[in-house]
Amino acid sequence: MAAMYIDIKNDILEKINSGIYEEGNVIPTELELADFYKVSRPTIRQAVQLLVDDGYLEKRKKRGTIVCKRKIEQEFTQKISSFETEMSEKGLVTDTNVISLKVEYPSDDVCSALSIESSEKVYKLVRLRYIDKKPNVLVTTYIPYELFPELKSVDFKKNRLYDYFSSQGNPVSRIKRKLETIKADETVSDLLDIAIGEPVFYFHSYGYGNGGRIIEYSISKYRGDMNYFVFDLYR
């Protein structure tokens, strides 16, 4: 037989999942829950702690225990789509902060990723992307300059990079990605608003355009606490 606090945990979880306890709102206090379930406060504390550990609840110093925003399903690993398109299909509001867009000579890594010489200039576009006002992913993108000489004048706060590629007659038709997981360093922590050492999804992506040429090399760091990725595989 399961311990009492497991039953209580399951009951609270059901109330979260059914929306009785709403996202972002406080749940009843420990004392109220102890009265309701007719158990001691330590039992309630155990049940609540399990839900905190599982990411369903969060303890806030002044407000009490609140229901967490659930993680966002990302199909980044499943299909080729722009970030805004995918998120707006899910009913989420996105925003993009263009941290920098400049033209520079590529490092060895970027040369090798884009198959170019170190004398060929590239755009370096750094974007911080938000979902429902929270920073979600930091993306650094390298693009060969000679392929898109007019790109410098595009406002990527309003325009989607993949739409721009398409408008130039050179759409991305294939993407290879590599996924690692790393700990947030100080900069990532500051930009994504998570603690140093928290896990982050770390992608390297290669976008192929006309003639199978790599027209985009991107490094994306997704918050681990806000996202999950889905896969659907057939034999």
235 makes contact with its own copies (CB under 8 A): yes
φ, ψ of residue 112 in degrees (nearest 5): -70, -40
Binding of its own copies by 187 (CB under 8 A): no
Contact 67, 23 (CB under 8 A): yes
How many residues sit close enough to its own copies to count as binding (CB under 8 A)?
34
Residue ranges in 11-70 that form contacts with its own copies under rule CB under 8 A: none
Q: Which of 57, 54, 60, 63 is nearest to 22 (CA)?
A: 57
Residue 173 makes contact with its own copies by CB under 8 A = yes
Question: Do 86 and 73 meet the contact criterion of CB atoms below 8 Å apart?
Answer: no
Rule CB under 8 A: is residue 155 a binding residue for its own copies? no
Q: Is residue 179 a contact residue for its own copies (CB under 8 A)?
A: yes
User: In terms of Cα–Cα distance, which of 229, 143, 216 is closest to 179?
Assistant: 229
Contact positions with its own copies (CB under 8 A) in 81-120: 108
Pick 76 or 148: Cβ nearer its own copies: 76
Residue whose CB is less far from its own copies, 40 or 181 = 181
Nearest Cα neighbor of 79 from 198, 177, 179 is: 177
Residues that bind its own copies (CB under 8 A): 10, 71, 77-80, 108, 171-183, 197-201, 224, 228-235
